Amino acid sequence: MHKKKSKLPIAKPSTVEVAEPYPRTREQKERERRYAAEDGLRAIQRAEEVKSNKQLMADIKALANEQVSNLKKFCK
């Protein structure tokens, strides 16, 4: 018997307005925006470091293949 493949539902954006526990000031919003940009930059820099390390990339690929194999066993 062949199982029908199921797709995950696509989440629709919420239309409910949720009040903030306190109103954020302009300075707080700017600080959060800067932090998000700094965090994104660090993530990109880290990704470049990982990509340039051939041994680490080989280890990552081996681990990814191992996890895929485990998932295939689990999802039979």
Both tokens assigned to 58: 């080989």
CA distance 76 to 73: 6
Higher pLDDT, 6 or 7: 7
- pTM to 2 decimal places: 0.55
CA distance 70 to 76: 10
The single-letter code of the amino acid at 35 is: Y
Q: What is the pLDDT of residues 31-59, one digit of tens each?
A: 999 999 999 999 999 999 999 999 999 99
Instruction: Give residue limits of the domains in the chain.
Output: 30-74
